[in-house]
Amino acid sequence: MKRIVLAVPLVLAACALPGPRRAVPEATAVVPPPAWRSALPATGGAVRAGWWQAFGDPALTALVERALANNVDIGIAVARIEEARASEALARAQLSPQIGGTVPETQGQSISPFGTLTRSAAVQPALSLSYDLDLFGRLRQATRAARAQLLATEAAADTVRLATAATAAQGYVTLRALDHRLAIAQATLAARSDALRIARRRFEAGYTSRLEYRQAQAEYAVAAQLVPAAELAITRAENALSLLTGDAPRAIARGLPLDRLAAPPIPDGLPADLLRRRPDLFQAEQTLVATDRALDSQRAAMLPNLSLTGAAGLVLSTALAQPEVIFSAGASVLAPIFDGGRLRAQERAATARRDQAAFAYRRTALTAFREVEDALAGVRRTGEQAQALADQETAARGALQNATNRYRAGYSSYIEQLDAQRTLLNAELSLAQARADRLTSYVALYQAMGGGWTSADVAAVTR
């Protein structure tokens, strides 16, 4: 059995139980994996080859690419990225000096001791500047937290893209399995129709009893109800895929039949480090980084803060012979003395959020290992099941031919032929489901590995 090699440590410091303090990677130390992504242009169209092309069906490829281009959830995720970018820009702006300007205008009049009335007008343009020295890194840590949160949001969008591609591929495989199920039902109905016609003739000629004729009618009805049930399932599957691709309910284009979809090869011993390509793992890692930086910023808020302020301007007045230059400069120190425990409570809340992110990171990593193992087991076991069912289907078809010949020659009863027909129908339906399950297991493996792999990826990680 092909199994993943777990020799490479994946979960870093976050895998340990949260303690008072942990070292976490820098927000810029980890690069999100772009290898699985499709480079979608703004107007749609052709995209770069993706893992879904390994199944060898152009219709499947076109469906997945349409879903990546038009899916509503992906549009929402992209909008969230823009919001996170704005939040990062806002946090970064806090590190820059704040400059403002005013141009107040005043008018007035005064009476001199000699009774002379004097009117005057003055304009005082001025610039003001304030700058937070950020001695203890409160603003810098907040900026780093915003940056890490942006990376986590981008990874969340990648997770949505990967899930959309996998859902589209699995939906297409399910649709082709339903098409095959419908074909089986229609072929069975045609065979049962011939059997019913023969049973009616034999009954009317007096060669058989009414019991055999009624049994043939019942078996025909069983096959007849399979057709509308399959057609209903196909309609629902097409509607679900239409929603995934951002379209109104419509017919979905088909390509290769179910039994001709390629089963991609799986290299022996997939390295565990390939799991770092998973966008959800990168998202959990960056969320941990963001909460840790936010904790540092909250702790720095409990320390004194030094701000520099200054102002400069001119006084232009009709009462003055020459303009007057005014300016001021100063500094202020703001330190918390008594706040009723507000800052301490905020620090405890930030610590709790950091610990939650650490546990979430560990859970995400363990879930990744489980999903890969489940997918690998699914690929192998469903393949074995499909092979056994294929052998059963071949044997059942031969048994039905023998039973039919014996019945028509008068050597056996009609019930023997009915049993052979039921066995063949169940074998055909089970084989179609097993083949679909095997292909969906491949899709699940691609998704679990963060969007597939190449021989170059495996060789690079192995080295």
Q: Which of 8, 33, 27 is nearest to 288 (CA)?
A: 27
Which two structure tokens, joined as six digits, stand for 343?
């800052």
**What is the per-residue pLDDT for 313?**
66
| Superfamily in which the 13-36+48-95+134-301+336-462 domain is placed by CATH | Outer membrane efflux proteins (OEP) (1.20.1600.10)
Domain boundaries, the chain: 13-36+48-95+134-301+336-462
Q: Which of 9, 20, 6, 13 is nearest to 359 (CA)?
A: 13
CA angle, 29 then 33 then 36, to 5°: 175
Q: Give me Rg for the CA atoms of the chain.
A: 36
Q: Which of 297, 446, 279, 293 is nearest to 372 (CA)?
A: 446
Q: Which of 328, 337, 313, 324 is nearest to 130 (CA)?
A: 328
322 DSSP assignment: S
Which two structure tokens, joined as six digits, stand for 404?
């039919």
Cβ-based burial of 81 (10 A; exposed 0-12, middle 13-18, buried ≥19): middle
Predicted model pTM: 0.79
**What is the per-residue pLDDT for 342?**
80
Write the CA distances from 269 to 155, 221, 442, 446, integer angstroms: 26, 51, 16, 15
List Cβ neighbours of 266 (8 Å cut-off, separation of 6 or more): 2, 376, 379, 445
Which two structure tokens, joined as six digits, stand for 333?
């120190």
DSSP letters of 393-432? HHHHHHHHHHHHHHHHHTSS-HHHHHHHHHHHHHHHHHHH
Report the alpha-carbon distance of residue 266 to residue 379 in Å, rounded: 10
Report the alpha-carbon distance of residue 364 to residue 344 in Å, rounded: 30
Cβ(247)–Cβ(238) under 8 Å? no
Distance of CA 121 to the CA centre of its chain: 66
Which two structure tokens, joined as six digits, stand for 268?
């022996």
Write the CA distances from 146 to 34, 191, 212, integer angstroms: 21, 67, 77
Residue 73: count of CB within 10 angstroms of its CB = 16
Mean pLDDT (10-residue bins), the chain, 463 residues: 40 38 36 37 37 92 93 92 90 81 66 59 70 76 88 92 94 96 94 88 83 89 94 96 93 93 81 79 91 83 71 61 64 68 84 91 91 91 94 94 85 84 93 95 91 70 57
Question: SS3 for 437?
Answer: helix
Question: SS3 for 118?
Answer: strand
Greatest alpha-carbon span in the chain: 144
Which two structure tokens, joined as six digits, stand for 368?
């990744």
DSSP letters of 324-370? EEEEEEEEEEE--S--TTHHHHHHHHHHHHHHHHHHHHHHHHHHHHH
Q: Which of 212, 219, 222 is nearest to 408 (CA)?
A: 212
